[in-house]
Structure formats: structure tokens, C-alpha cells
């Protein structure tokens, strides 16, 4: 790839990475809200003996959200380093 084409693409790639991070952040906020709502229902779930299963789902969801945000943040940082 010619150097001038690569340098022209870098700002676009950085912008797209930043856009993706914003989307992931919004998704993370929505997922955390969902987790909060599910946690509020744990008391009801306890009556049916499924608290442990629900807590495992909540933990997995929280981990997935955090991992996604961490990965997107890493992508943006790498794009910024490569661009800067």
C-alpha cells in the first residue's frame, strides 16, 4: 500500500475505532443497567432457589461487558499510537 494512502486512511481508522468505543460504552451502560435490574429481582428468585444460577449469569454478563470495553479501549489506544 502506498505510504500516502496509508497515512490518509489512518485518521479514518482512528475515527472509526473511537466511534466503535462510543458504541461499546453505550452498550456497556445499557448492560450494566440490565444487570442492576436483574440484581433487584434476586430476592424474588431466592424464593424459587435459583439465585446461584442467576448470579452466575449476572457475573458472566458483567465480565463480558467489561472485556468488551477493555478490548475496544485497547483498539483505540493502539490506533492513537499508530496515528500519533
Whether pLDDT at 82 is above 80: no
**What ranges do the domains of the chain cover?**
3-83
Residue 2 has pLDDT above 60, yes or no: no
Q: Which grid coordinates belong to 50?
A: 435459583
Return the closest-CA partner of residue 25 out of 72, 60, 59. Answer: 72
Whether the model pTM is above 0.85: no
CA 57 to each of CA 3, 32, 65: distance values in angstroms, whole numbers, following the listed order: 48, 13, 12
* The three three-digit cell numbers of residue 3, written as one number: 505510504
> Between 66 and 49, where is the model more confident?
66
Distance set, CA 33 to CA 43, 55, 58, 76 (Å): 17, 15, 11, 24
Query: 41: closest CA among 55, 29, 28?
Result: 55
Q: What pLDDT shows up at residue 49?
A: 65
Distance in angstroms (rounded) separating the CA atoms of residues 58 and 20 = 24
pLDDT tens profile 4-62:
655 666 777 778 878 877 887 787 777 777 777 777 777 666 666 666 777 777 788 88
Amino acid at each position: 500500500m502506498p505510504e500516502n494512502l496509508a497515512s490518509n486512511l489512518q485518521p479514518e481508522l482512528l475515527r472509526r475505532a473511537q466511534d466503535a468505543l462510543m458504541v461499546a460504552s453505550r452498550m456497556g451502560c445499557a448492560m450494566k443497567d440490565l444487570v442492576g435490574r436483574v440484581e433487584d429481582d434476586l430476592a424474588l428468585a431466592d424464593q424459587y432457589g435459583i439465585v446461584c444460577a442467576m448470579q452466575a449469569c449476572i457475573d458472566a454478563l458483567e465480565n463480558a461487558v467489561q472485556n468488551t470495553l477493555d478490548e475496544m479501549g485497547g483498539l483505540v489506544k493502539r490506533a492513537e499510537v499508530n496515528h500519533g
